[in-house]
Structure 1
Amino acid sequence: MKSGESQRSDGRYAYKYTDTFGNPQFVYSWKLVPTDKIPAGKRPDISLREKVKQIQQDIADGIDPIGKKMTVCQLYAKYIRQRGNVKRGTKKSREQLMKLLSDDKLGAASIDSVKLPDAKEWALRMQEKGIAYHTICNSKRSLKAIFYMAIQDDCIRKNPFDFPINDVINDDTEPKVPLTPAQEEELLKFIQDDPVYAKYYDEVVILLETGLRISELCGLTETDLNFDLRFVNVDHQLLRSTEDGYYIETPKTDSGFRQVPMSAAAYEAFQRVLKNRKGAKAIKVDGYSNFLFLNRNGLPKVAVNYDAMFKGLAKKFNKCHKEPLPTVMTPHTMRHTFCTRMANAGMNPKALQYIMGHANIVMTLNYYAHATFQSAQEEMARLEAAKAETAVAAAETTVENTEETKAAA
């Protein structure tokens, strides 16, 4: 036997050591070395010497012997506790992930036992359960963050969630595409002429002309409109939940605070909205009142109202048009369409980023990637035409200069 090793009366081998906190600890095994056989009826386990080697390595690296044994759910709870200053939407997302972990075997696993294959298998199980790809991606990002915290806290050495999610599961999300210029024109004409959806015309125009998020549109009040300087002030969003009812949230990032210019069409639409706004209930939400867009009960509309409206609108539109609207037709499609239209028109990317309220220019530049062969061909033709005009202008200037030189002579 080596120092610290002993054998109990029941035949098990034991090793006594002092952890990083100075406390005595024990580990046990039915095998002293890897070649020993485990007695019949005993649970399979690694040998004592193998355990000692792991312990000595942990002590040398300063790994917390207690912390590494916390479960994934406990680690996530610790992460949440240390980062509590978040918005309501984030809290709900955290509750959803905690439930996913609690219902899955990963949640009960000790963090030091979770390896790369375990993390990948978790992603596959989530997809098999029907969890949306976007939700799995966000959850995986959160799990990567909590395991990174565990590394910083000297509980583990490696991050099992440090892998590209696309290497494991495929993105089965229905692609979100913008309206084409022809679809946009046809849709507005259809809404304007339809007896059911005509009342939504101005709201759709405003979404298409400003690129506002739907919760930002819902939160607009009379004081947010500046008709003199023609801009919309965006500094809050209106949301509603079953538990809390109506509530106000500020933008996620500083980029969300902005002043969105009003186009002529948006200006006129806002004027009509104010003129036709009737039957508003006296309601104040976190200090805000006089909301612009109301439901039939005189209460402020929220995202769910528009989701249902756009779903019905697309279904009715597609029944009488050869070219159907995009499969995913939501209020965000209008924002998507606005940004793509501005990008295709050649708007400065930084200006478009500001209008959209994107925190990262990469998000804005992705809209420029929605180019089609037709738009690429048109852009090439435009540049060729500009080049030809420049050449003609240069030739005319040369001729004029030559004639002036002759005349002077």
Structure 2
Amino acid sequence: MTVSNLLKRYMSIVSGRFKTNTLRAYNNAIRRINKSPFSQRCISDIRVSDAKKFFVDLHHQNLKYNTIDVMRCILSPAFQMAEEDDIIRKNPFRFKLSSVIPTDAASRKALTEKQKNFLLDKDIEYTRAIPIRNGANERGQWYHDEIIILLGTGMRVSELYGLILKDVDFKEHCIRVNKQLIRTADYLYKVETPKSESGIRTIPMSDSVYQAFRDVMEKRTPPDVERMIDGYTGFVFLTPRGLPRVAAYLQAHMSYLHKYIKKHYDPTFPSISPHVLRHTFCTDMQRSLDVKVLQYVMGHSSVDITLNTYTHMSYENVKKAFNEAMGIG
């Protein structure tokens, strides 16, 4: 059996359990693997050193660490299946990728309080400068409210855009997160459950988040016919044409906003994205919330993710916590 045949067999068994974006990433990874002579090798001939050399060669071809890691995420369980079926003696991909090639990912850092305030201020200025396009008035604070909400809740952007009107409870001051809205590469809308079971949760609203949602509802213009997607309708966030917004819109806005800030105000301003806003919220909240509470609010399946991936401790954080513990004003 070749590597290509093994991957095909593995995906025929497990593809149904993957969400749309994950499945797309895995299929892209398999296509990359199949372009390599490695894909035609017999799986019983592959040793650990062969597996490591395959990744090293990809690294020398200037593929990004994350791209190679997705390949590892599909190769390792596929070979594990072959081991369990007694087709091979040992899974040669059971090692950490970081032990073979260096990571090229920049350390994600949370925004400081000053940077958050600056971002919100310049977002207003930037959105007012956007010209009218295609006859639709796109001036105004089109994404300002979303940025406030993500900074104040830590939601994933797909969860934010998956909210329908009844998910926002103004009476109880809470948001009920139970789905996410995505758009496929074929521009088809899909509603899926959150990333894990832990993603189904209820998040309290702060005063700023409450007001941001009030502003969104006030500015929301219901279309003549509300779009129905997988049985859901009444999505909170709509485009000027009345279609539900998706992550790509906010990601593009923040990318342009970042360029605007760097060009006109601060060339050192850090990269911003919806995920950076989520990371910032988690980092801010870990100073005041119990870690298990924070895990719940973030929708993490493991507390290790909350502690090791999303929080970022700076000297300012340490100093503030130290002063509070010591009673220093």
Q: Assess same fold via TM > 0.5.
A: yes
How many angstroms does 1:141 deviate by? 2.6
Residue 133 of structure 2 is matched in structure 1 by none
Runs of at least 5 residues in structure 2 that lack an aligned partner in the other structure:
130-139
Query: Counterparts in 2 of 1:378-393, with a 5 A limit?
Result: 378-385=320-327
SS class of match (2:78): helix
Matched to 1:138, the amino acid is V
Counterpart among 93, 97, 109 of residue 41 in structure 2: 109
1:289 aligns with 2:220: no
The separation in 2 between residues aligned to 1:299 and 1:262, in whole angstroms, is 25
Q: Secondary structure at the match of 1:238?
A: strand
Q: Give me the whole-angstrom Cα distance separating, in 2, the residues matched to 1:190 and 1:100.
A: 41
Indicate the SS of the match to 1:187.
helix
Matched, 1:348 2:290: yes
Report if aligned partners of 1:222, 1:292 keep a CA contact under 8 Å in 2: yes
1:207 is aligned to 150
Q: Give the conservation status (yes or no) of the 8 Å contact 2:21–2:184.
A: no
Q: TM-score, normalised by structure 1?
A: 0.73
Secondary structure at the counterpart of residue 288 of structure 1 = coil
Deviations 1:288-316 (A, max 9, x none): 11111122222111111111100111111
The residue type paired with residue 232 of structure 1 is: I
Distance change in 2, residues 1:373/1:84 (3 Å): closer
Secondary structure of the residue that 1:336 maps to in structure 2? helix
Q: Percent identity?
A: 34
**Structure 2 matches for 1:18-167, cutoff 5 A?**
70-86=1-17, 87-167=19-99
CA distance in 2 between counterparts of 1:101 and 1:322 reads: 41
**Residue correspondences, number:** 316
Larger gyration radius, structure 1 or structure 2: 1
Distance 2:141 2:87 in 1: 61
Which amino acid letter does the alignment assign opposite residue 16 of structure 2? N
Deviation at 1:190, TM superposition (A): 2.2
Distance 1:145 1:242, change over 3 A: closer
Relative contact order higher in (CA < 8 Å, ≥ 6 apart)? 2
Query: Residues 141, 199 of structure 1: CA spacing in aligned structure 2 closer, same or farther, 3 A cutoff?
Result: closer
Using the alignment, how far apart are the partners of 2:73 and 2:286 within structure 1? 30
**Contact 2:286/2:311 (<8 A) preserved:** no
Distance 2:227 2:282 in 1: 33
1:47-99 per-residue CA deviation (whole Å, 9 max, x = no partner) reads xxxxxxxxxxxxxxxxxxxxxxx001111111112224222223222311221
**Aligned partner of 2:312: which letter?**
H
Is the contact made by 2:30 and 2:71 (CA closer than 8 Å) also made in structure 1? no
Equivalent residues in 2 for 1:221-300 (5 A)?
Answer: 221-243=164-186, 245-278=188-221, 280=223, 282-300=226-244
User: What secondary structure, in the 3-state scheme, does the structure 1 residue paired with 2:90 have?
Assistant: coil
The TM-score with structure 2 as length reference comes to 0.90
Query: Could you say which residue in structure 2 is the equivalent of 1:303?
Result: 247
Unaligned runs of 5+ in 1: 1-69, 389-409
**Which secondary structure state, in structure 1, belongs to the residue aligned with residue 70 of structure 2?**
helix
4+ residue runs of structure 1 moved beyond 3 angstroms? Answer: none
- In the alignment, the residues of structure 2 paired with residue 368 and residue 313 of structure 1 have an alpha-carbon distance, to the nearest angstrom, of 23
Task: State the 1:279 CA deviation.
Answer: 5.2
- SS of 1:178 mapped into structure 2: coil
For 1:269, the aligned partner's letter is A
Distance 2:310 2:156 in 1: 19
More divergent stretch after superposition (167-176 vs 367-376): 367-376
- For residues 311 and 88 of structure 1, the distance between their equivalents in structure 2, rounded to whole angstroms, comes to 24
1:234-260 residue CA offsets vs partner (Å, 9 max, x unmatched): 111111123261111111211010011
Cα distance change of structure 1 residues 193 and 356 upon mapping to structure 2, 3 Å threshold = same
Which residue matches 2:111? 179
- AA aligned to 1:77 is K
- 1:365 is aligned to 307
Go from structure 1 to structure 2 and tell me whether the alpha carbon gap of 1:304 and 1:130 turns closer, same or farther (over 3 Å shift). Answer: farther
